[in-house]
């Protein structure tokens, strides 16, 4: 999966502009980023700086206006929507701030969703779901519906869903943004364990210095560019 | 492929699972579509029942003779001499009392409808030998009218529909009171909607001199029709046309049947339009309410076409549920329902039963499916077209 130089994520001279009426707003300009395999990267920056936008580009949820986005050797900025969807299913695990669980499905059915896009039999799927739920410590809540789970439990369900297909890359957009300190810490510890013990490459957007402290590296996004120094 | 079907199944189950959370809107759409289907079935069952009533009344041995150029009894006219020639024609059955032929007058009177309290037209038939010719007239109450007196007997359909048509009642026609002396059944469905009296009494009351409007006759057998018809049409002293009674009634009803059908389709189309907007509205709000869930699924790698199909399926399932309920409701409400309506050719009342047939129900359900597809298509396309990143932002 990794390239010659060892980077899993390889972003070069990426520009992203949005059109708001007649106005063009430049969110990312000539941005470069390399994330090696096995890194736990924290992405920080002021609100509206484009963190989510960058994460979307890496996850193949959006396309750059120009520049190249290569993940594990795949140039995802060149792919058709159809191929991109299949690529996401195969390589990306997504964790959302508001969990984005389907309210009508139990925790285990939510976790099973990404597996429906694979060729696995239902017994294989059940095994994978059990494994993922046990990693996040939610085996006893498998049959619960999201509304009966605490925020922390919902987020752990979300993480189980993200890792159930054993993706190449885990992308988390403010995974603790909606949680209290204690639940947030548990989630961060879980992500850290996934990184250290399971070797997951993780990119996590966060506003919280506490959270970034758990990461192996922190980068700051401001005025369309990345730096390793916290801006003024 | 399996995968793709799995996606559709999952998404559809998911969207149907959210229906209870959207009870109000979903019920409104289903009820709207159910209403359309109920009205459609109701109206078309009128046409169906009317056609059935008309088709079953005909007796193959019975013929009706009108003046050529007339398209109904209303506009026909025959002199006594002509009616005698018709009665004596070959093929007409005979008894000891003479030929089985009845010279008849046909006028339209106004009576109050029981249901609405408003005036409606009723046919009043003067007969010379009506019951004997038709053979199946049965007095169910009272007695037959006596010749030469201002007495009438009324068909059960007419008795049910109009005020004053009970035995002992009186109706005022042509400045004279007529007494209702009996109620009868038979004569096919059509006669049951009529009032009968002696032609000889009706003639002076309506200043008809010694003329009639039609002759109804019984043939010796259905195969005698050709002989009978040839004899009349080749007779230089007669200008008439000859129908089997069944054909005549079918022709009389065809215009009305077509009219009711086109009204039914028109009303249903208008309601369908409303239901389509209702369905559209429901589906749009359903899709909007679930935008984040749909976006999440797409972010996880679910395809657009399974999303479109699942939204369509949901819409169709709602429509079929609503339509099925509507069809069932109208079946329970309308099937066999006794009614009377106007025969537009004679402008008189015809009694018949609504008839909800299986093909009619299938037709109505197909309408519901069509409404569901139209209602679901646009929201579905919208749901699938929206860029994933944009959809994810719409919390
Ligand atoms: N589809 C879009 N159309 C127009 N503008 C957009 C679109 N998506 C994002 N933007 C704008 O781009 C900018 C960056 O948005 P983004 O969500 O990436 O910021 P962020 O760093 O994640 O902010 P936050 O910390 O609040 O989540 C914002 O000003 C946002 O309004
Ligand atoms: Mg953001």
State ipTM: 0.91
Average pLDDT over residues B129-151: 91
pTM for the model stands at 0.66
* A27 touches ligand 1 (CB under 6 Å): yes
In a domain, A202, yes or no: yes
Name the stretches of chain A with pLDDT < 50. Answer: 1-4
What is the CATH number for A137?
Answer: 3.40.50.300
Q: Which residue has the tokens 């509507």?
A: B326
State whether the beta carbon of A65 lies less than 6 angstroms from ligand 1. Answer: no
How many domains does chain A divide into?
1
At B43 the pLDDT is 74
The pLDDT of B273-291, averaged and rounded, is: 72
pLDDT digits (tens, 9 = 90+) for B311-337: 788 888 888 888 888 888 888 877 766
Mean pLDDT score, B186-201: 84
CB-proximal residues (5 Å) to ion ligand 2: A 52
pLDDT at B345 over 90: no
Ranges A10-14, B235-239, B249-253, B335-339: which has the least confidence: B335-339
| A132 located within any domain | yes
C-alpha distances in angstroms, B314 versus A102, A103, A155, B43, B71?
17, 17, 29, 28, 53
The reported pLDDT for the residue numbered B346 is 45
Contact A100 B301 (CB under 8 A): no
Please determine, for residue B296, whether its predicted confidence score (pLDDT) is greater than 50. yes
Residue B250 has pLDDT above 50, yes or no: yes
CB-CB under 8 Å, B300 with A105:
no
Asked whether residue B351 carries a pLDDT value surpassing 70, the answer given is: no
Checking if the pLDDT of B132 tops 80, the result is yes
First to last CA, chain A: 37
Question: Minimum-distance ligand to the CA of A53?
Answer: 1
Q: Which two tokens stand for residue B310?
A: 């699942």
Q: Helices B2-17 and B304-334, interaxial angle, to 10°?
A: 50
Using CB atoms, which residue from A61, A82, A100 is nearest to B388? A61
Beta carbons of B300 and A94 less than 8 Å apart? yes
Encoded tokens for A186: 């548990």
Q: Is residue A211 part of a domain?
A: yes
C-alpha separations of B224 from B92, B130, B271 in Å: 8, 20, 51
| pLDDT for the residue numbered A1 | 46
Contact B300 A56 (CB under 8 A): no
A&B contacts, CB < 8 Å: 68
| pLDDT above 90 for B352 | no
Instruction: With CA atoms as reference, report the closest residue to A175 among A153, A198, A205.
Output: A205
pLDDT at B328: 86
B267 pLDDT band (50/70/90 cuts)?
confident
B294 to chain A: which residues are within 8 Å by CB?
A: none
Quick one: pLDDT at residue B58? 58
Find the domain containing A54 and state its range. 38-62+89-225
Nearest CA-CA distance, residue A225 and chain B, Å: 21
- Give the model's pLDDT for residue A162: 96
Pairing outcome for strands B176-185 and B151-155: parallel
A70 domain residue, yes or no? no
According to the per-residue pLDDT averaged within each range, which of B10-14, B303-307, B341-345 is highest? B303-307
Q: Which of A113-122, B267-276, B352-361 has the highest mean pLDDT?
A: A113-122
- Higher-confidence position of B380 and B129: B129
Chain B, residues 276-305, CB within 8 A of chain A, namely 292-293, 296-304
Is residue A216 lining ligand 1, measured as CB closer than 6 Å? no
Q: Tell me if A73 is assigned to some domain.
A: no
Specify if A50 maps to a domain.
yes
Residue B343's pLDDT is: 52
Determine, yes or no, domain membership for A32: no
What pLDDT score does A96 carry?
94
Task: Compute the distance from residue A77 Cα to the ligand 2 centre, in Å.
Answer: 21
Question: In terms of Cα–Cα distance, which of B133, B186, B117, B126 is closest to B151?
Answer: B126
Q: Identify the pLDDT of residue B189.
A: 62
The residues, ordered by sequence, that sit 6+ positions from A155 with a Cβ below 8 Å of its Cβ are A95, A99, A175, A176, A178, A179, A183, A187
Helix/strand/coil (H, E, C) string of chain B? CHHHHHHHHHHHHHHHHCHHHHHHHHHHHHHHHHHHHHHHHHHHHHHHHHHHHHHHHCCCCEEEEEECCCCCHHHCCEEHHHHHHHHCCCCECEECCEECEEEEEEEEEEEEECCCCCEEEEEEEEECCHHHHHCCCEEEEECCCCCCCCEEEEEHHHHHHECCCCCCCEEEECCEEEEEEEEEECCHHHHCCCEEEEHHHHHHHCCCCCEECEEEEEECCHHHHHHHHHHHHHCCCCCEEEEEHHHHHHHHHHHHHHHHHHHHHHHHHHHHHHHHHHHHHHHHHHHHHCHHHHHHHHHHCCCHHHHHHHHHHHHHHHHHHHHHHHHHHHHHHHCCCEEEEEECCCCEEEEEECCCCHHHHHHHHHHHHHHHHHHHHHHHHHHHHCCHHHHHHCC
| pLDDT confidence of residue B51 | 67
In a domain, residue A25? The reply is no
Q: Does the beta carbon of A18 sit less than 6 angstroms from any atom of ligand 1?
A: yes
Q: What is the pLDDT of residue A42?
A: 96
Dist. CA A138–CA A161, nearest whole Å: 12
B297 versus B255: the higher-pLDDT residue is B297
pLDDT of residue A13: 95
Residue showing tokens 């149907």: B16
> Ligand 1: which residue has its CA nearest to atom 22?
A52
| Digit-coded pLDDT (tens) for A97-136 | 999 998 888 999 999 999 988 888 889 999 999 999 999 9
């Amino acid at each position: 999966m990794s390239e010659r130089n060892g980077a899993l994520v390889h972003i070069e001279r990426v520009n992203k502009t949005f059109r708001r009426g007649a106005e063009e707003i430049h969110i990312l300009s000539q941005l470069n980023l390399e994330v090696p395999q096995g890194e736990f990267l924290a992405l920080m920056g002021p609100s509206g700086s484009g963190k989510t936008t960058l994460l979307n580009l890496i996850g193949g949820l959006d396309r750059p206006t120009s520049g190249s986005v290569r993940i594990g050797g795949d140039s995802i900025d060149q792919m058709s929507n159809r191929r991109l969807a299949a690529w996401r299913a195969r390589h990306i695990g997504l964790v959302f701030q508001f969990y984005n669980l389907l309210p009508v499905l139990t925790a285990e059915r939510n976790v099973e969703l990404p597996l429906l896009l694979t060729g696995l039999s239902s017994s294989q799927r059940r095994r994978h779901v059990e494994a993922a739920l046990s990693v996040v410590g939610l085996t006893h809540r498998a049959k619960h519906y999201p509304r009966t789970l605490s925020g922390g439990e919902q987020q752990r369900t979300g993480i189980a869903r993200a890792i159930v297909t054993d993706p190449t890359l885990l992308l988390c957009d403010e995974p603790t943004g909606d949680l209290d300190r204690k639940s947030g810490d548990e989630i961060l510890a879980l992500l850290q364990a996934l990184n250290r013990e399971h070797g997951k490459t993780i990119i996590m957007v966060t506003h919280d210095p506490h959270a970034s402290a758990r990461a192996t590296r922190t980068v700051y996004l401001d005025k369309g560019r990345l730096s390793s120094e916290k801006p003024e | 492929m399996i995968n793709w079907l799995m996606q559709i199944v999952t998404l559809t189950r998911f969207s149907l699972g959210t229906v209870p959370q959207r009870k109000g809107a979903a019920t409104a759409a289903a009820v709207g579509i159910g209403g359309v289907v109920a009205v459609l079935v109701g109206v078309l069952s009128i046409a169906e029942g009317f056609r059935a009533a008309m088709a079953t009344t005909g007796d193959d041995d019975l013929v009706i003779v009108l003046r050529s150029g007339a398209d109904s009894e209303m506009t026909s006219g025959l002199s006594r001499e002509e009616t005698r020639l018709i009665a004596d024609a070959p093929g007409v059955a005979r008894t000891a009392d003479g030929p089985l032929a009845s010279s008849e007058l046909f006028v339209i009177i106004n009576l109050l409808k029981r249901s609405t309290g408003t005036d409606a037209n009723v046919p009043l038939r003067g007969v010379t030998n009506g019951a004997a010719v038709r053979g199946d007239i049965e007095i169910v109450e009272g007695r037959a009218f006596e010749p030469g007196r201002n007495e009438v007997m009324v068909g059960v359909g007419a008795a049910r529909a109009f005020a004053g048509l009970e035995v002992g009642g009186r109706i005022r026609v042509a400045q004279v009171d007529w007494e209702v002396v009996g109620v009868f059944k038979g004569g096919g469905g059509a006669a049951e909607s009529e009032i009968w009296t002696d032609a000889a009494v009706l003639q002076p009351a309506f200043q008809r001199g010694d003329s009639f409007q039609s002759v109804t006759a019984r043939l010796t057998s259905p195969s005698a029709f050709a002989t009978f018809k040839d004899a009349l049409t080749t007779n230089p002293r007669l200008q008439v046309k000859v129908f089997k009674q069944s054909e005549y009634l079918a022709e009389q009803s065809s215009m009305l049947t077509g009219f009711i059908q086109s009204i039914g389709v028109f009303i249903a189309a208008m309601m369908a339009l409303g239901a389509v907007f209702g369905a559209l509205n429901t589906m749009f709000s359903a899709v909007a309410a679930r935008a984040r869930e749909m976006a999440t699924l797409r972010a996880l790698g679910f395809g657009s076409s399974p999303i479109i199909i699942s939204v369509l399926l949901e819409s169709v399932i709602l429509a079929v549920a609503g339509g099925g309920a509507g069809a069932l409701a109208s079946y329970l409400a309308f099937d066999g329902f006794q009614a009377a309506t106007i025969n537009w050719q004679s402008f008189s009342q015809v009694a018949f039963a609504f008839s909800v047939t299986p093909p009619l129900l299938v037709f109505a359900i197909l309408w519901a499916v069509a409404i569901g597809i139209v209602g679901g298509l646009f929201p579905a396309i919208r749901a699938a077209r929206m860029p994933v990143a944009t959809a994810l932002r719409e919390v």
